[in-house]
Amino acid sequence: MADKDVLIDIFTRADLIMQSDIKFRKMIGAGQLQIVYYPVRGQEVVSAAMMAAVNQEDYLVTIYRGLHDQLAKGIPSKDLWAEFAGKMAGTCKGKGGPMHITHPETGVMVTTGIVGSGIPIANGLGLASQLEKDGKVTVCCFGDGASNIGAFHEGLNMAQVWKLPVIFLCQNNLYSEHTPMAFATSSETIKQRGDGLGMRSVRVNGNDASEMYAAAKEAVEYARAGNGPTLIEAMTFRFHGHLLGDTSHYIPEEEMEQALKDDPMPILRQQLLDMQISETDIAAIEAKNAATIEEAAQFALDAPYPPGDEYRIDVLDVEIAA
Amino acid sequence: MSEKPAEIMFAQACNMAMAKAMADDPKVILMGEDIADEQGGGVFKVTAGLSAQFGTDRVRSTPISEQAIVGAAVGSALVGYKPVAEIMLMNFITVAMDQIVNHAAKLRFMSGGQTSVPLTIRTTTGAGTGLGGQHSDMLEAWLAHVPGLKVVAASNPADAYGLLYSSIMDPNPVIFIENTPTYFTKGPAPAPDHVVPLGKASVPREGTDISLITYGRGVGASHAVAEKLAGEGISCEVVDLRTIAPFDEETVLKSVAKTKAAVVVHEAVKNFGTGAEISSRIHEELFSELKAPVGRVGSGYAPVPFSPAIEKAWMFSEDDIEREIRKILG
Ligand SMILES: Cc1ncc(C[n+]2csc(CCOP(=O)(O)OP(=O)(O)O)c2C)c(N)n1
Ligand SMILES: [Mg+2]
């Protein structure tokens, strides 16, 4: 079991993620936000434990389903919410949107909407750190389905050959869109693919905070020591479909029921109580997160949109003529 | 009172064309992510019911592997199959560009005509719905620039039906571009044997003052502007290319020879777009007869912006078309 402070840290991040996801789904459902949203409920602990094991300067590359990773890495809620709402005050001036969050101050370098494409880019960040000897690691998040695309195989091979300081975090929620993993994946596990490429590879219960944190910490230390990359296959589940509106009809009922029973959030909360952290202290964390989210959501709604011709700025280093 | 003719949606028309092609020719097979019924019949349900009807040997859900999907389509096409690969969104075609550009397009030529690649790649795209920079690009100009590829875009359900059927049966590789925002728009249903030949444009609206040359979603926008300007006595002819490459020069030049003015309209970014090629061909053939240089309307020089306010400003619009027409007609 991870020590008390670490678990509190993980819980604080994970609860922020959970409450944010709930709030996003609520606001989208109510028509207050009109966006395509990839729910993260169920995967909170994977990111929270991973990001608790790295520093703010370390890099992150993630995917469209990235809210949990971005919050866990420390992007301020206001900036993130405003970007999701397409506002000028957002992380990317509203130009990128939820699928393309970048926030260098917290190390969030790329969020991609193209399956697998973050992997080779993470190698480039790792290469720069290796050349600079800056001691940074790069965390690269992707799903189980991404392991079927060429970029995964090319990217992991290169990372291993060059011993790059990259942690490949495969968040295995067992589905890619409507496809169950076994239908489209030749190997039984993603870890086996890492093994096949000669990479240090582990498979853990990503929903268990202590187990996930231990794997993350070990991978980070291994990378910082110059030993090279690790593939972490973190087993998890997503509770609300590929994107909001997807009813998960393709997930057998018993599987969903079991997954909900194994919901990592109440389990982690109970673990805190078992460690003699008081209900009052936990409730205080939750209340603080709730307040942060309320403020961020209101800020996002009230903030102004970018002016229309903003599209001519940032295409190149100079403004494009009208 | 006569009965209203049956209407179908664009997505349905594509589905029916594939069903007909599969029924007519056992060599037609489908591949793509989540396209079989067990995986939902495609994310936009365009292939719904086809695996139930024709079996999962012929309607195959694939891993997320665009390069492998198109490669398998190329390989099976080389030995007599007529594969139809679905690339879920046009932006994901970038992952398979090697297979498309270096192989599908060139193998007939490089083999001295010994082999051919009669595949169809269906894909969909279109901006205006807040999907941002990696999910709504119109990339037809890239593909139209590659010798050996045909590029097709339908503007209505009946054409989609007739053109997709022709694309599947065509002995050349064809990229068939669907438009996500208009998937569920209805239009008159085609007769079951309705076929639209590739390479033939249509003239859905005749006019005398100016030709609006367009395709895909540009057709609806051009019609709307033509309708508005008709009230002021400006007569616009609308030419729907249907096949973007190779395009029907005869119909385009005939129209412009009559109206002596033209605007090319497309959703894709204007710079280096297909409008440049079409406009240039008109200038080469009809320069001295034109009332004014050919105009072009397209979207702005930027990735598709996420925020609705910027996306709208960036995107081609009916206002842009109207402004361009007025500029040309003075
Ligand atoms: C190259 C590419 N192909 C297809 C898609 C469409 N798509 C988006 S997410 C997704 C499923 C990815 O599944 P997985 O990697 O397991 O991640 P998850 O969504 O489960 O987190 C697909 C097929 C895409 N974005 N990019
Ligand atoms: Mg998955």
Q: What is the Cα–Cα distance from B202 to B258, expressed in whole angstroms?
A: 15
Note whether residue B196 is domain-resident: no
User: Are B165 and B257 part of one and the same domain?
Assistant: no
> Residue B264: beta bridge partners?
B213, B296
How close B285 gets to chain A, by Cα (Å)?
30
User: Are B31 and B171 part of one and the same domain?
Assistant: yes
> Residue B123: beta bridge partners?
B87, B177
The structure tokens listed for B79 are 């030995």
Alpha helices by DSSP H, listed for chain B, are: 10-24, 50-54, 66-78, 97, 107-110, 140-144, 157-169, 217-230, 249-259, 274-286, 308-314, 318-329
Note whether residue B197 is domain-resident: no
Q: Could you count the other beta carbons within 10 Å of the beta carbon of residue A158?
A: 19
B278 close to B252: Cβ distance less than 8 angstroms: yes
Test mutation, B307, B311, B316, B319, chain A, max A CBs within 10 A: B307
Count of domains forming chain A:
1
Helix (H) or strand (E) holding A175: strand A175-176
Q: Could you count the other beta carbons within 10 Å of the beta carbon of residue B280?
A: 12
Note whether residue B75 is domain-resident: yes
User: Are B173 and B81 part of one and the same domain?
Assistant: yes
* pLDDT (mean) for B189-214: 98
By CA distance, what is A112's nearest residue in B? B134
Per-residue pLDDT tens digits for B260-280: 999 999 999 999 999 999 999
Test mutation, A81, A95, A186, A190, chain B, max B CBs within 10 A: A95
Note whether residue A295 is domain-resident: no
> Residue A233: beta bridge partners?
A170, A203
- What's the A146 CA to ligand 1 centre distance in angstroms? 7
Note whether residue B193 is domain-resident: no
B134 close to B125: Cβ distance less than 8 angstroms: no
Count of domains forming chain B:
2
Ligand 2 (ion): which residues have CB within 5 A? A 143-144, 173, 176
Residue B1: pLDDT band (50, 70, 90) is very low
User: Are B42 and B15 part of one and the same domain?
Assistant: yes
Indicate the DSSP class of residue A103: B
Look up the CATH number of the domain holding residue A20.
3.40.50.970
Q: Is the dihedral of CA A19, A25, A31, A33 positive or negative?
A: positive
User: Are B36 and B164 part of one and the same domain?
Assistant: yes
Predicted confidence at residue B6, as pLDDT, reads 94
B238 close to B262: Cβ distance less than 8 angstroms: no
- What's the B71 CA to ligand 1 centre distance in angstroms? 19
Predicted confidence at residue A204, as pLDDT, reads 98
Residues A116, B64: C-beta atoms closer than 8 Å: yes
Nearest Cβ partner of A306 from B91, B132, B310? B310
Catalytic residue among B33, B86, B103, B135: B135
Note whether residue A67 is domain-resident: yes
* Ligand with smallest separation from the Cα of B96: 1
Note whether residue B128 is domain-resident: yes
Count of alpha carbons within 13 Å of A92, Cβ hemisphere only?
28
Upstream peptide bond of B246 is cis (omega within 30 degrees of 0): yes
B172 alpha-carbon distance from chain centroid: 16
| Per-residue pLDDT at B131 exceeds 70 | yes
Residues B133, A96: C-beta atoms closer than 8 Å: yes
User: Are B176 and B58 part of one and the same domain?
Assistant: yes
Note whether residue B195 is domain-resident: no
Per-residue pLDDT tens listing for chain A (322 residues): 889 999 999 999 999 999 999 999 999 999 999 999 999 999 999 999 999 999 999 999 999 999 999 999 999 999 999 999 999 999 999 999 999 999 999 999 999 999 999 999 999 999 999 999 999 999 999 999 999 999 999 999 999 999 999 999 999 999 999 999 999 999 999 999 999 999 999 999 999 999 999 999 999 999 999 999 999 999 999 999 999 999 999 999 999 999 999 999 999 999 999 999 999 999 999 999 999 999 999 999 999 999 999 999 999 999 988 8
Indicate the DSSP class of residue B39: G
Residue B3: pLDDT band (50, 70, 90) is low
Note whether residue A274 is domain-resident: yes
User: Are B47 and B21 part of one and the same domain?
Assistant: yes
Residue that is written with structure tokens 């295409």 in the block: A315
Domain that holds residue A105: 4-26+41-73+101-243+250-290
Domain that holds residue B300: 202-329
Note whether residue A315 is domain-resident: no
Question: Chain B 130-189, CB below 8 Å of chain A: which residues?
Answer: 130-135
B145 close to B134: Cβ distance less than 8 angstroms: no
Note whether residue B60 is domain-resident: yes
Indicate the DSSP class of residue A20: H
Look up the CATH number of the domain holding residue B281.
3.40.50.920
Beta strands B120-125 and B82-87 are parallel
Q: How far apart, in Å, are the Cα atoms of B196 and each of A173, A285, A296, B40, B86?
A: 44, 64, 53, 29, 21
A136 alpha-carbon distance from chain centroid: 18
Mean per-residue pLDDT over chain B, rounded: 97
- What's the A176 CA to ligand 1 centre distance in angstroms? 6
A83 close to A28: Cβ distance less than 8 angstroms: no
ipTM: 0.94
The last residue of one of the domains, among B188, B219, B239, is: B188
The last residue of one of the domains, among B126, B153, B188, is: B188
Predicted confidence at residue A288, as pLDDT, reads 98
Residues of chain A found within 8 Å of residue B43, distances taken between Cβ atoms:
177
User: Are B235 and B285 part of one and the same domain?
Assistant: yes
User: Are B226 and B270 part of one and the same domain?
Assistant: yes
Predicted confidence at residue B141, as pLDDT, reads 98
* pLDDT (mean) for B219-227: 98
User: Which residue ranges have their beta carbon within 6 Å of ligand 1?
Assistant: A 65, 113-115, 142-146, 173, 175-177, 242; B 33, 64, 66, 88, 92, 95
| Per-residue pLDDT at B316 exceeds 80 | yes
Q: Residue B305: what residue type?
A: P
Note whether residue A266 is domain-resident: yes
Note whether residue B1 is domain-resident: no
Note whether residue A130 is domain-resident: yes
- What's the A147 CA to ligand 1 centre distance in angstroms? 10
Q: What is the Cα–Cα distance from A318 to A321, expressed in whole angstroms?
A: 9
A109 close to A96: Cβ distance less than 8 angstroms: no
B275 alpha-carbon distance from chain centroid: 14
User: Are B171 and B275 part of one and the same domain?
Assistant: no
The structure tokens listed for A265 are 């959030």
Note whether residue A19 is domain-resident: yes
User: Are B141 and B232 part of one and the same domain?
Assistant: no
Q: Could you count the other beta carbons within 10 Å of the beta carbon of residue A243?
A: 14
In 3-state terms chain B splits into helix, strand, coil percentages (rounded to 5) of: 40, 20, 40
B238 close to B188: Cβ distance less than 8 angstroms: no
Is residue A252 left, alpha or beta, with left meaning phi > 0 and alpha meaning psi from -120 to 50? beta
Helix (H) or strand (E) holding B28: strand B28-32
User: Are B86 and B33 part of one and the same domain?
Assistant: yes
Note whether residue A94 is domain-resident: no
